[in-house]
């Protein structure tokens, strides 16, 4: 399935990319699956997205938990805890 991935703030800098639109393998059905798949890239991906690291994920612009289901063309944003205001 194709998903649109967005990265913000420190994660955008560490991943050296603001967005990508990868074709994910068939076993990626949930957000947790997607994160596993991204961690398999190793390096900063494995490090920054490790379980227990503080980052947030929004699917279609809503903050979601890790068990959220993913669908074709979903917009998935991964970013550090917010610091506005």
Partner 1 sequence: MKIAVQTEAFDLNAEVVALYQANPKVGAVASFLGLVRDINEGQGVSTLSLEHYPGMTEKALAQIVEDARQRWEVLDASVIHRVGALRPTDPIVLVAVASVHRGDAFAACEFIMDYLKTRAPFWKKEATPEGEHWVDARESDDHAAARWGR
* Contact flag: residue 6 with partner 1 (CB under 8 A): yes
By the rule CB under 8 A, 53 interacts with partner 1 = no
> Would you say 36 or 74 has its CB closer to partner 1?
74
Q: Let me know: does 11 contact 81? Beta carbons within 8 Å.
A: no
75 φ, ψ (degrees, to nearest 5)? -100, 115
# residues contacting partner 1 (CB under 8 A): 17
Q: Which of 16, 26, 53, 84 binds partner 1 (CB under 8 A)?
A: 84
Burial, 11: exposed, middle or buried (Cβ in 10 Å; 0-12, 13-18, 19+)? buried
Q: Name the site residues for partner 1 (rule: CB under 8 A).
A: 6, 8-10, 54, 58, 61-63, 77, 79-85
């Amino acid at each position: 399935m194709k998903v649109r991935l967005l990265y913000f703030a420190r994660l955008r800098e560490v991943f050296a990319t603001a967005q990508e639109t990868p074709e994910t393998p068939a076993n990626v059905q949930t957000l947790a699956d997607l994160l596993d798949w991204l961690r398999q890239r190793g390096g900063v991906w494995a490090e920054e997205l490790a379980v227990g690291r503080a980052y947030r994920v929004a699917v279609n612009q809503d903050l979601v938990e890790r068990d959220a289901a993913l669908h074709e063309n979903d917009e998935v944003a991964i970013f550090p805890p917010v610091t506005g205001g």
